[in-house]
């Protein structure tokens, strides 16, 4: 039986309508990640002085702590991107593909061989306001944190 884990995603003060889940499942040679989220803000283009809203950065963060803290800049308690092998940003094990809002809904699955499910239990999942640029150091400049979830073992 493959090892599985999940995180329930809840929006914070900047996007309270966000809710959904992420599942992690060990498969041959890596992990399948499946996410389904409702309530994402719709796309808004950015400008010189303002980041775009969407597509939404989606990452694993160091800590499974979803305390809101500062309501204008929530979920800092989750720490930075999870980067167990000390790679430059763009190659963190916790760098995931962006989520596109389709009238507030997003559903996606992808494969990674950067970790096993047991490695991420207790980590945090964050959805950001803007897309990750996969270049800025140390974390991609994806803007404010809109939603958070803690990864827990599934089953038993």
CATH topology of domain 4-153: Immunoglobulin-like (2.60.40)
In order of 85, 118, 126, the CA distances from 144 in angstroms are: 25, 28, 10
Tens-digit pLDDT string for the chain (156 aa)? 679 999 999 999 999 999 999 999 999 999 999 999 999 999 988 888 888 888 999 999 999 999 999 999 999 999 988 989 988 777 888 889 999 999 999 999 999 999 999 999 999 999 999 988 766 666 557 889 999 999 999 975
Do residues 139 and 77 touch, judged by C-beta distance below 8 A? Answer: no
Per DSSP, the residues of 89-131 read: TTS-TTB-PPBPPBTTBEEEEEEE-S--HHHHTT-EEEEESS-
Which two three-digit tokens encode residue 135?
Answer: 């270049």
pTM: 0.91
What pLDDT was estimated at residue 44?
87
**What are the structural domain ranges in the chain?**
4-153
């Amino acid at each position: 039986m493959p090892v599985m884990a999940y995180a329930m995603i809840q929006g914070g003060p900047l996007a309270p309508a966000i809710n959904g889940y992420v599942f992690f499942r060990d498969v041959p040679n890596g992990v399948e990640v499946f996410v389904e989220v409702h309530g994402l803000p719709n796309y808004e283009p950015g400008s010189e002085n303002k980041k775009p809203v969407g597509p939404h950065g989606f990452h694993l963060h160091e800590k499974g702590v979803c305390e809101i803290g500062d309501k204008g800049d929530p979920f800092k308690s989750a720490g930075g991107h999870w980067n167990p092998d000390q790679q430059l940003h763009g190659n963190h094990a916790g760098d995931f593909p962006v989520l596109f809002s389709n009238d507030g809904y997003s559903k996606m699955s992808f494969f990674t061989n950067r970790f096993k499910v047991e490695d991420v239990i207790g980590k945090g999942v964050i959805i950001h306001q803007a897309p990750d640029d996969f270049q800025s150091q140390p974390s991609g400049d994806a803007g404010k944190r809109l939603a958070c979830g803690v990864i827990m073992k599934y089953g038993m």
